[in-house]
Chain A
């Protein structure tokens, strides 16, 4: 369970680390903690998995990855886990999830691929299809970004 102080730390950390010589000291000061105590707590959040990564979050478009496709796959339930793990192994796949099927939506595996061109995304999907033997898939290219924000927890 997260304590009230843990939630305060999380709120502060999502405001961004100050660009000053001793950034942790600045945050610790606001929370009535010591600099060492705060760093220790961040380390334990990383060890406990509450923080997946500590550092910079980058807009990938600015690194040249202009195209992203959500590739959706209709894979038999028995093979879904094995296939999901195989797909996750591809360097070009950034996200891989299993989700429920529903009426009018037969696809249960979702992979996000990013490429420098549309064709590159198509080729990546073909490569994954070949490796897994799964042929029922679709590429849903994004045509516009309507919102992209960082989640603000405990606010």
Chain B
């Protein structure tokens, strides 16, 4: 969608500085000198167009007790969609990308415990079309940036 300069200012506020007050949209409107209704309408537009994936809390999975890993598998180009269907069927698989490498399918898994994580990985590994899997849990996290500057 096309963003005007007011949308951009609004997006900046709601990404980085969402007011935790009883009437947040009114507070944002005051900062931008527009009405609460206009703030809500503009945010709704951005949600409907898919630009905003979600409005709410962005959680730290580790602090919630979850465990995760980045995994990669090698798979033939013919079987990509079949393998993707298996991998993506797990709700803990949140991201899955094809990348230019022998290990061509890269996905992240989150699970509520170490045991559950291993269970999902071994389920995926059992699949006959998956030739090789590498499991790469984060040992150290140096940066996770969740705000994007407007291009």
Contacts and interface: CB of A to CB of B under 8 A. Distances in A.
Q: How large is the interface on B (under 10, 10 to 19, 20 to 34, 35 or more residues)?
A: 35 or more
B128 interface: no
18 contacts: A14-B57, A19-B47, A21-B25, A52-B60, A52-B146, A54-B58, A55-B58, A58-B51, A59-B53, A62-B51, A63-B51, A63-B148, A88-B143, A98-B139, A98-B142, A116-B151, A146-B97, A151-B66
Interface in A58-76: 58-60, 62-65, 70
Interface string A97-129: 111101011000010001010000000000000
Given A57-B53, A142-B98, A152-B91, A51 B140 contact: no
Interface in A30-57: 35-36, 39, 42-43, 45, 48-57
A29 B100 CA distance: 49
10 shortest A-B CB distances, which residue pairs? A64-B151, A55-B18, A88-B143, A88-B142, A147-B96, A99-B136, A96-B142, A98-B140, A146-B96, A140-B99
Interface in B16-41: 16-18, 20-26, 36, 40
Q: How large is the interface on A (under 10, 10 to 19, 20 to 34, 35 or more residues)?
A: 35 or more
Contacts of A95: 143-145
A90 to B, nearest CB: 9
B92 A151 contact: yes
B111 to A, nearest CB: 10
Given A36-B22, A51-B59, 4 more contacts: A16-B54, A62-B1, A142-B97, A147-B84
A148 B94 contact: yes
A151 B94 CA distance: 6
Nearest to A99: B136
Contacts of A60: 148
A102 B24 CA distance: 48
Contact of A146 (B26, B46, B88, B134): B88
A58 B53 CA distance: 5
Contacts of B51: 58-59, 62-63
Nearest to B135: A102
Contact of A55 (B15, B60, B65, B145): B15
